[in-house]
């Protein structure tokens, strides 16, 4: 029973951590972000299974994490008001070629990062050529160029 409770508690805690650190950190692989992503998995494994090396223990831990994932996903789907809390919601970063500095700042994204992402993922050289840039709930930025 303990392993199920530990896995559920760790799931909620890791969800809280991921929401606290911000979505950009979870979708990029900058050196500091990489540390978080690598270390988090290793540390929670010890907290969940502890000295239990059994297959049964692994079944229970994986099953609990899977069940919690489905539960959170279903809650977000069934009750749309929970969606922004559980997963966050999209944030517009650029509108008609103009960067929205307030939203960029709130998500700790610099203009340099935005421009780099635009070049990398959408092959757009200038922010002014963007109609929209949207920070999605996954932490990735989608770019919609201006129609010419």
Supply the minimum distance, in Å, between the C-beta of residue 91 and another protein: 6
Q: Are 50 and 43 in contact (CB under 8 A)?
A: no
Spatial separation of the C-alpha atoms in residues 85 and 103, rounded to whole Å? 18
- Out of 6, 61, 117, 118, the only residue in the binding site for another protein (CB under 8 A) is 6
Q: Does 70 bind another protein (CB under 8 A)?
A: no
- Candidates 25-33, 35-43, 113-121, 128-136 — which segment interacts with another protein by CB under 8 A? 128-136
- Residue 134 as a binder of another protein (CB under 8 A): the answer is yes
Instruction: Give the residue with the Cβ less far from another protein, 68 or 134.
Output: 134
65 CB neighbour count, 10 Å cutoff: 17
Applying CB under 8 A, the span of 13-21, 30-38, 56-64, 66-74 interacting with another protein comes to: 13-21
d(CA 141, CA 23): 11
Report the C-alpha gap between 73 and 95 in whole angstroms: 30
**Residue 39 interacts with another protein (CB under 8 A): yes or no:** no
* Among the listed residues 91, 104, 114, 141, the single contact to another protein using CB under 8 A: 91
Give whichever of 119 and 146 is closer to another protein, judged by the CB atom: 146
Instruction: 102-109: list long-range contacts, CB under 8 Å, 24+ apart.
Output: 103/135, 107/22, 107/23, 107/24, 107/135, 108/22, 108/24, 109/24, 109/135, 109/141
Is 89 a residue that touches another protein (CB under 8 A)? Answer: yes
Our finding on whether 32 is near another protein (CB under 8 A) is no
Residues in the chain: 148
């Amino acid at each position: 029973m303990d392993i199920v409770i530990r896995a559920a508690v760790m799931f909620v805690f890791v969800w809280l951590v991921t929401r606290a650190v911000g979505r950009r950190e979870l979708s990029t692989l900058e050196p500091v972000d990489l540390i978080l992503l690598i270390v988090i998995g290793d540390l929670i494994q010890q907290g969940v299974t502890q000295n239990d090396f059994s297959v049964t223990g692994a079944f229970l831990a994986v099953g609990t994490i899977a069940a919690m994932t489905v539960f959170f996903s279903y809650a977000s789907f069934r009750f749309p008001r929970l969606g922004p809390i559980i997963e966050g919601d999209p944030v517009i970063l650029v509108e008609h070629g103009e960067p929205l500095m307030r939203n960029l700042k709130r998500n700790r994204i610099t203009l340099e990062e935005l421009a780099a992402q635009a070049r990398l993922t959408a092959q757009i050289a200038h922010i002014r050529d963007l109609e929209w840039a949207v920070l999605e709930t996954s932490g990735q930025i989608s770019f919609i160029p201006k129609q010419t």
